[in-house]
């Protein structure tokens, strides 16, 4: 009997000691009622979108901007993010980049951003000329140095795009090429915005 009472007191202390963290974490990461991707939106060009329900917290992933500034997804908190893993040597990736550029233009940059994380290495040497050649004026240049973000997010197919809500949680992903300039893709992104 003494053991069960002491176990209860210890459990209670641990719960109470952790409660400030629980309250703080709920204030920092509120459940987003905005981010809702209904299954009826998954059709047409985005029919291969694998919805995550409920949305899943993502690990901390680091990547670099085109000017070599270190970044994380937390730097985009408050915005819906479409993280796209790609490379200039990947034919399906190259094919879908113009449609990603069109999607960014349609969505604007106030509440939505596309992060095309290049696996071409740590410099702009291949990517910047590719952007110029394809006239990709809406997308920023980003790199997944050492493929650490790719590994942390379990990416095994290029291209892969992960839709992240404004609270930094995964709503779902598409493995393989998609046409992001379609009404279905736009509707999916608008639903993620809420």
The mean pLDDT values, 10 residues at a time, for the chain of 194 residues are 44 36 37 58 84 94 93 96 97 98 97 96 83 97 94 97 97 96 95 91
pLDDT at 46: 87
- Regarding whether 163 and 140 lie in a shared domain, the answer is yes
- Regarding whether 72 and 123 lie in a shared domain, the answer is yes
- Regarding whether 39 and 24 lie in a shared domain, the answer is no
- Regarding whether 62 and 140 lie in a shared domain, the answer is yes
Residue for token digits 């190259």? 94
What is d(CA 144, CA 52) in angstroms, rounded to the nearest whole number? 23
- Regarding whether 24 and 69 lie in a shared domain, the answer is no
Structure tokens at 188: 């999916």
CATH number of residue 174's parent domain: 3.40.30.10
Among the residues of the chain, which ranges form H helices? 2-28, 91-107, 127-134, 148-152, 183-193
What is d(CA 140, CA 65) in angstroms, rounded to the nearest whole number? 8
pLDDT at 41: 74
**Tally of CB atoms within 10 A around 164:** 26
What is d(CA 14, CA 187) in angstroms, rounded to the nearest whole number? 45
- Regarding whether 125 and 40 lie in a shared domain, the answer is yes
- Regarding whether 40 and 25 lie in a shared domain, the answer is no
- Regarding whether 64 and 11 lie in a shared domain, the answer is no
Which domain covers residue 1, as residue numbers? 1-30
Q: How many domains does the chain have?
A: 2
- Regarding whether 138 and 44 lie in a shared domain, the answer is yes
- 126 contacts 46 by C-beta, under 8 angstroms: no
Nearest to residue 96, comparing CAs of 64, 48, 151?
Answer: 48
- Regarding whether 81 and 15 lie in a shared domain, the answer is no
- Regarding whether 176 and 112 lie in a shared domain, the answer is yes
pLDDT at 35: 57
- 56 contacts 66 by C-beta, under 8 angstroms: no
């Amino acid at each position: 009997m003494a053991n069960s009472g002491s176990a209860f007191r210890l459990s209670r202390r641990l719960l109470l000691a952790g409660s400030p963290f629980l309250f703080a974490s709920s204030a920092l990461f509120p459940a987003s009622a905005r981010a809702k991707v209904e299954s009826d939106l998954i059709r047409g060009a985005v029919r291969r979108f694998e919805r995550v329900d409920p949305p899943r917290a993502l690990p901390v992933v680091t990547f670099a901007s085109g000017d070599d500034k270190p970044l994380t997804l937390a730097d985009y908190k408050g915005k819906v993010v479409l993280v796209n893993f790609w490379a200039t040597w990947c034919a399906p990736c190259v094919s879908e980049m113009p449609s990603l550029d069109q999607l960014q233009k349609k969505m604007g940059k106030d509440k939505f951003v596309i992060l095309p994380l290049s696996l071409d290495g740590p410099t702009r040497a291949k990517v910047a000329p590719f952007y110029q050649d394809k006239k990709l004026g809406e997308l920023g240049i980003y790199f997944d140095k050492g493929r650490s973000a790719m590994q942390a997010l379990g990416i095994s197919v290029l291209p892969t795009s992960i839709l992240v809500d404004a609270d930094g949680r995964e709503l779902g992903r598409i493995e393989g090429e998609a046409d992001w300039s379609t009404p279905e893709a736009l509707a999916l992104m608008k639903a993620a915005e809420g």
